[in-house]
Amino acid sequence: MKAGFFVLVAIFATACTIPSHPHGKSEIICQLCQEIVQTAEQYLNDDEADIANEIDNLVCNHYRPLETICDALVKQLLPLLIQEIYKGLTPIQCCQEVDCC
């Protein structure tokens, strides 16, 4: 089980550093992060587990080839992204703050 977690972390770390975006980040990861933030914004009155479930249903399930990366983003970054949302940042700014854009 621990090995699987480390694989997810490695995938996430690699995904957030794939160059192709003007800021040196993967454009698809940046877009995915923004969709995660936009969905989280709609469910801020729910607890974190419920927000994660909604993101899984509404975002990650639509990124079939990247579903594992999406799940890893949610598990690793959702608490930080929620903090950035509460600071009043836009989705792109939230994702820049966590280094995905």
**Domain map of the chain by residue range?**
2-97
Q: Is the pLDDT of residue 93 over 80?
A: yes
Which residue would you say has higher pLDDT here, 12 or 25?
Answer: 25
For the chain, strand residue ranges (E) read none
Encode pLDDT of 33-46 as tens digits. Answer: 999 999 999 999 99
Which residue would you say has higher pLDDT here, 12 or 64?
Answer: 64
Q: What is the CA radius of gyration of the chain?
A: 13
Cα four-point dihedral sign 56, 5, 37, 26 = negative
- Under a CB-based contact definition with an 8 Å cutoff, are residues 100 and 43 in contact? no
In the predicted model, what is the mean pLDDT of residues 43-67? Answer: 93
